[in-house]
Chain A
């Protein structure tokens, strides 16, 4: 993805004495072209900076006080016993949703990547679940899990399994929302990995077949290493998104029952918006932002390396 600069002539071809710096307007051109986007950028960064500033005050909608109190809101957050539980739920949701989507998505992608009429027909509909708004999809699932009009419990009963109380009880609440996340985003994982599988050169796989390599040998030594960049793309999008998942949990239980599903995002929303204590909820959002920022930087760097390494196979 090397960028060839069209504004400057190829310097290597010109004797050094003849190199003239392009006029100021030409050098400023890219900034001018990007200027409208830069203005939008500032409009988005301003509230972000204000948010960090407000997190250092005791500001509440009901008591607009902007005294500087240092990290008091952060200290209070860490000392709150709910904070560690919230950390646990946020991570549990993100790891389980991403993990299942990777495994199921890879399976579906490999099964779709075959000569099969069934696969061809089904593939067309793969994108449907992820085009529905997460909130609306969650309401549909909520309806299916509902005791009086729901269909999931009758279906469980018909194959001899007992009814579940789904998101209404703490034991199965996390399972219920992760199930919806898996339903909605496994197609994304499958699509990306399917695109990866289809981009592979056939040579190494034919060589392995001729040598009589087993399925697992080929999978471990060819498929997985070559697929790593694509797996990382899935992780980057799905892990980051599920760390900050709001819509599914909010539409399902608003964080309940009790505080069972109070992730960072839900806690920040409840404290800052519902309870109107603006400054007190901000640390949850800001800590989550910092975590996501560093993890995504690291994953993107890893992705770059994996891409170069995978290129070595073809």
Chain B
């Protein structure tokens, strides 16, 4: 009797701690959604109970209705959103094109300098970004790549390429080489084996890794901050503008934050099974 009572108490205490932690983890997200639904008047006078309005969403997507009354219209959001989309998907596409074959080579061939090569790619992930982008800010100006889509997509390879190479390498290594050897004995050339046999086998992992790379590219801030200006301004850089101006638009900022982060949270839910391997660059199979 005593033991079961103790066990139940421990269970209640444990669940209680978990609930507390998740309140801490989820509250800012809930608050973000709440503030995005507040009118500017109620922003300062209310906490949890207010009359919800979609004005902020309308303002950031279609321009401020009060623009004529002297309030600065901020409707760059759709453009910033498009910019984020273009550079993030561009970066993932480039990384897929160059990274998938590289991951295959690293997983299946023994060649000189292999591990050094793999670790050089990995070191991009851990290097302080400024060590590359301070000189790049000069080189880009000389080459005319400053504030261009190509320039940002190129430098985003620091984020997306190591992730794809390492995660995919671990997926390729999971596949038994026997399948390939059988196909090889049957006279299939290596590129047909790669495209017709291997790629379909790693497809779920590949899709998950690409989506995760997209999220990381989307969330990046320092690259477009240093190497971009008005042309390629992404949502992460423009978000600062809502509250650094003389008049702080907290509710507008919250609406922009909701639109730019909720899709990723839903995306992440859909790849949850593959998430741990992706986040740990293939180190933890999950």
Q: List the interface of chain A (C-beta within 8 A of B).
A: 1, 3-8, 27, 29-31, 33-34, 36-41, 43-48, 50-51, 54, 59, 61, 104, 107-108, 111-112, 114, 116, 118-119, 122, 124-129, 131-137, 139-144, 146, 148-149, 151, 154, 183, 186-188, 191-192, 195-196, 199, 230, 233, 237, 240-241, 243-244, 246-247, 250-251, 264-265, 268-269, 272-273, 278, 281-282, 284-286, 288-289, 292-293, 296, 303
Contacts and interface: CB of A to CB of B under 8 A. Distances in A.
B132 A51 contact: yes
B102 A133 contact: no
Contact of B286 (A50, A132, A195): A195
A287 B101 CA distance: 34
Contacts of B130: 246, 265, 268-269, 272, 281, 284-285
A40 B98 contact: yes
Interface in B245-286: 250, 253-254, 257, 260-261, 264-265, 267-269, 272, 275-276, 279-280, 283-286
Given A44-B158, A107-B17, A33 B105 contact: yes
Which one of A112, A127, A148, A293 has the highest number of Cβ atoms from chain B below 10 Å of its Cβ?
A: A127
B24 A233 contact: no
Contacts of A34: 101-102, 105-106, 117
B171 interface: no
A174 B147 CA distance: 33
Tell me what chain B mostly uses at the interface: helix, strand, loop, or mixed: helix
Nearest to B25: A129
A281 B236 CA distance: 24
Given A36-B101, A37-B161, A125-B22, A292 B28 contact: no
Interface of B: 11, 14-15, 17-19, 21-22, 24-26, 28-29, 31-32, 35, 43-44, 47, 94, 97-99, 101-102, 104-111, 114, 117, 120-121, 123-124, 126-139, 154-155, 157-158, 161, 165, 170, 173, 177, 180-181, 184, 190, 215, 218-222, 225-226, 235-237, 239-240, 242-243, 250, 253-254, 257, 260-261, 264-265, 267-269, 272, 275-276, 279-280, 283-286
B134 A268 contact: yes
Contacts of A278: 134-135, 137-138
B271 to A, nearest CB: 10
Given A39-B98, A41-B120, A191-B275, 6 more contacts: A36-B101, A122-B19, A133-B239, A237-B280, A246-B222, A289-B127
16 contacts: A4-B108, A29-B109, A37-B101, A37-B121, A40-B98, A48-B132, A51-B134, A54-B135, A122-B22, A131-B265, A133-B261, A135-B239, A139-B257, A151-B47, A265-B128, A268-B128
A56 to B, nearest CB: 12
A136 B250 CA distance: 12
A185 B110 CA distance: 36
Contacts of A27: 111
B205 to A, nearest CB: 16
A45 B29 CA distance: 38
Contacts, number: 292
Contacts of B133: 47
Contacts of A140: 28-29, 31-32, 254, 257
Contact of B226 (A36, A142, A273, A296): A273
A195 B104 contact: no
B102 A33 contact: yes
A143 B250 contact: yes
> Would you list the 6 A-B pairs with minimal beta carbon distance, nearest first?
A37-B102, A133-B219, A30-B109, A51-B135, A36-B98, A244-B128
B173 A1 contact: yes
Given A7-B109, A41-B121, A131-B261, A285 B29 contact: no
Given A30-B109, A192-B279, A244-B129, A47 B139 contact: yes
Contacts of A112: 18
A47 B142 CA distance: 12
Given A118-B15, A247-B221, A240 B264 contact: no
A293 B260 CA distance: 33
Contacts of A142: 243
Nearest to B257: A136
Contacts of B286: 195
Contacts of A38: 102, 117
Nearest to B261: A132
A122 B14 CA distance: 13
B140 to A, nearest CB: 9
Nearest to A190: B21
B138 A144 contact: no
Contact of B126 (A154, A286, A296): A296
A162 B260 CA distance: 34
B29 A36 contact: no
Nearest to B266: A131
Contacts of B117: 34, 38, 41
A106 B236 CA distance: 31
B128 A292 contact: yes
Nearest to B29: A128
A199 B47 CA distance: 44
Contact of B254 (A43, A143, A183, A196): A143
Contacts of A139: 239-240, 242-243, 253, 257
A202 B277 CA distance: 22
A33 B47 contact: no
B128 A108 contact: no
B124 A111 contact: no
